[in-house]
Structure 1
Amino acid sequence: MSAIESLRPLLVALILAGAGSVQAEAGGASAMPLAAPQFAPLVAVARAGERLAAVGDHGVVVLSEDGDTWRQARAVPVDGLLTAVSFADAGHGWAVGHGGLLLRSEDGGETWARQADLEGQPVLLSVWFENARHGIVTGAYGYAAQTRDGGNSWQRLNLGAEGDDYHLNQVFPGPKGSLFIAGEAGNAYRSKDGGSTWETLDTRASGSLWTGLGLRDGRVLLAGMSGRVLLSDDQGDTWRELDSGAHEAVTALAELPDGRVALVGNGGLVGVSDRGVGRFTATIRDDRLNLAALAPRANGELLLFGPAGVLPRP
């Protein structure tokens, strides 16, 4: 698989296939008000306290307190594709997109302001904020940067060997304050000092890793192409492959209240692990829509996100 074929923006484009044009960069207009914003194409979701905030194409941001009723954010100053979202707490959130786009909210996602675009206008694929000041973004062709002042200024991060330009698909927290990045071509990275320095991990995987998750019990998961799910019991030093029950690409993971893990992916893939997270039972939705994100409800039910917006699990 070529570098271009494994680029996450292409995956996003596939997710949104049939749901309208995908803009490569955010435009100058604001997000269009929609009568039913929960049915707009959505590609990422995060919790802002007890609230859910999901983002997607055309600058759409939708919010919900209960997962049943959704409303559109009041002010989003862009109309392009938003690829990821992160909230440090119930109020402070960030969303990113193509062209180095960075949005900030201080009211739980109700309104958003555009911060200065990142130098070089990188394709941003992931964002994570520890608190209102410290955050990391990752993107295509090895782009990674860190802020210590709430996104007002950014410093580039060096990952891997000099000259590596693997796409960095998702940054996420692990146990004991560690951070991980899931990347292209089986590459993954770990930081033990809050993101200042990184080491390359030996995952023994070849296909791109799209997503990852730190579990409450201290274990770490990575997932990606061909239904691959990797588990580490030792904070990323070694990895073993789990039976995902599927061969479709896995795009997102979430831990359920009872400790099980749910996954979603291309072709309508939905899977749930056993309680020990040793193997998954997978199903394929009848609509076979590519799924981009998921969020567990308090009762263990799943909310799914994709080209048709918020989708209840049947």
Structure 2
Amino acid sequence: MVTTVTSRAPAGRAGAGAWPAYLLVLLVLGAAIYAFSPRPNPPFPPTVIHSDRILINALAQRGNRIIAVGEQGHVLLADNASGPWHEGRVQPQRGSTLTQVQYIGEHTALAVGHDGWVLRSTDDGENWQEVAFDTERSDPLLGIAGPYDGKLFAFGGFGRFVMSTDDGKTWQKVVSEAAGDHHLNAMTRMADGALLLVGERGLMLRSADNGQTWKALPQVYTGSFYGALALPGQRVLVYGMRGNAYVSRDLGKSWQKSIVPEEVSLLGGAVTAKGEIVLVGEGNTVLVSRDSGDRFVVASQGERRTLAAVLPVSGNEWLTGGEAGLSVKRATGAKS
């Protein structure tokens, strides 16, 4: 006969052996509760704006405040040409490229860009509100002009042309047979009050009635004009592709070709407090004229990057914007 003997552990010892398992379950449960419980986000460092790594298309200044606009709807702000730069708040942020910016009042500025986008700021660029955006046509707005006797103009690709009479809050379409479907790039007001609008294929339009009607001027160049500057007296300057610049001494009735040492496209320009003309363009080129646009010399040149905008800083320094972002250029010598 075989006898089977079964050993039974005391009840106290069995309970003691289960405690580690219970403890493990509690630890897992506590970790799960902690993982999914609400708690404040960890602090993140402020976003750093690399002003030398963003495409900048346009600059505007009033007092110490400088506004720069460019790719993907970015707006950069500073109170000194050397920075630091911070970003303005755009609502809503469409991400469309901004092409031009301009002050229209003491603290009020407008910016325009692709998709007919128009932004308006009343606090020196800190905050921007959308006043126009075209969800059907992507044609860009390329320029702003005014206010001229209460009128503001914005214009751009394929004849896109709009006007505002309420400080840029609302916009109405301008119909001009003279403009047609040309790309419209820049506008200025001459000393006699007439408006000059320039664009592609040598287009130059003149309005003697503050933009109600436009008349084409005789063509002096078949390429595109990208800018127009009103100068002291009866002078006006237009500039554009392949180093072509023309100056008029009689409010646009006749034109003479300026002497430009480089065949680079000229995209941006400004007039200094001393009356010097500064133009920028391809090849990091900065050109200066000290004789009202008759002759230009190379003041600065560098790597093969394009400059699109310029603001005078001092006699021999300029804040520029372009493919390589924002930078202060200094005169490196004159080349005629």
Q: TM-score, normalised by structure 2?
A: 0.77
Q: Would you say 1:60 and 2:60 are equivalent positions? A: no
Distance 1:243 1:178, change over 3 A: same
DSSP-derived class of the 1:130 partner: strand
How far has the Cα of 1:299 moved from its partner?
4.1
Please tell me whether residue 268 in structure 1 is matched to residue 284 in structure 2: yes
Instruction: Quote the RMSD (CA, aligned, Å).
Output: 2.2
Give CA deviations for 1:64-105 in whole Å, capped at 9, x if unaligned: 222122322331132221011111123111111111111000
1:97-246 alignment runs, 5 A limit: 97-117=113-133, 121=137, 122-130=139-147, 134-161=151-178, 164-246=180-262
Paired with 2:60 and 2:77, the residues of 1 have a C-alpha distance of 10
Please state if 1:38 is matched with 2:55.
no
Q: Give the Cα–Cα distance (whole angstroms) in 1 for the partners of residues 124 and 300 of structure 2.
A: 34
Amino acid at match of 1:279: R
Q: Report what 1:4 is aligned to.
A: none
Amino acid at match of 1:206: T
Letter in 1 for 2:153: I
One-letter identity of the residue aligned with 1:201: L
Q: Name the count of aligned residue pairs.
A: 281
SS in 2 for 1:112: strand
Aligned-partner Cα distance in 2 for 1:87–1:226: 29
Separation in structure 2 between the aligned mates of residue 62 and residue 133 of structure 1, nearest angstrom: 28
C-alpha change, 1:296 and 1:256, in structure 2 (3 Å) is same
> Which has the larger Rg?
2
Contact 1:51 1:90 in 2 (8 A): no
Deviation at 1:307, TM superposition (A): 1.7
Change over 3 Å in CA distance of 1:34–1:188 after alignment to 2? farther
Partners of 2:132 and 2:84 in 1: how far apart? 29
Aligned in 2, Cα 1:66/1:276: closer, same or farther, shift over 3 Å?
same
Q: Which runs of 5+ in 1 are unaligned?
A: 1-32
Q: Which amino acid aligns with 1:269?
A: T
2:76–2:85 CA contact under 8 A, matched in 1 = yes
Specify whether residues 61 and 100 from structure 1 end up closer, same or farther in structure 2 by C-alpha distance, changes over 3 A only.
Answer: same
2:62 corresponds in structure 1 to 48
Which structure is higher in RCO with an 8 Å CA cutoff and minimum separation 6?
1
Q: Which residue of 1 aligns with 2:31?
A: none
Counterpart residue type for residue 38 of structure 1: S
Aligned equivalents of 1:185, 1:291: Cα separation in 2:
22
Cα shift at 1:306: 0.9
1:226 partner SS: helix
| Match of residue 270 from structure 2 | 254
Equivalent residue for 1:297, pick from 295, 304, 313: 313
CA change 1:299–1:51 in 2 (3 A) is farther
SS in 1 for 2:100: strand
Report the Cα distance in structure 1 between the residues aligned to 2:260 and 2:106, rounded to whole angstroms.
Answer: 33
Name the aligned partner's letter for residue 303 of structure 2.
D
Specify every segment of 5 or more residues in structure 2 that has no aligned partner in the other structure, as ranges.
1-45, 331-336
TM-score, length-scaled by structure 1: 0.82
- How far the C-alpha of 1:155 sits from its partner, in A, is 2.7
The residue type paired with residue 291 of structure 1 is: L
Q: Aligned equivalents of 2:317 and 2:160: distance in 1?
A: 35
For 2:146, give the aligned amino acid.
Answer: F
User: Structure 1 residue 280 and structure 2 residue 296: aligned?
Assistant: yes
Partners in 2 of 1:34 and 1:80 — Cα distance? 20
1:173 deviates by 2.6
Structure 1 CA distance for aligned equivalents of residues 314 and 215 of structure 2 = 36
| Cα distance in structure 2, aligned partners of 1:172 and 1:38 | 29
Out of 113-122 and 207-216, give the one that drifted further: 113-122
Q: Which residue of 2 aligns with 1:29?
A: none
Q: CA deviation at 1:153?
A: 3.1
Query: Equivalent residues in 2 for 1:77-96 (5 A)?
Result: 77=91, 78=93, 79-96=95-112
**Equivalent residue letter for 2:68:** A
Q: Tell me which stretches of 4 or more aligned residues in structure 1 moved more than 6 Å.
A: none
| Distance of aligned partners of 1:35 and 1:236 in 2 relative to their CA distance in 1, 3 Å threshold | same
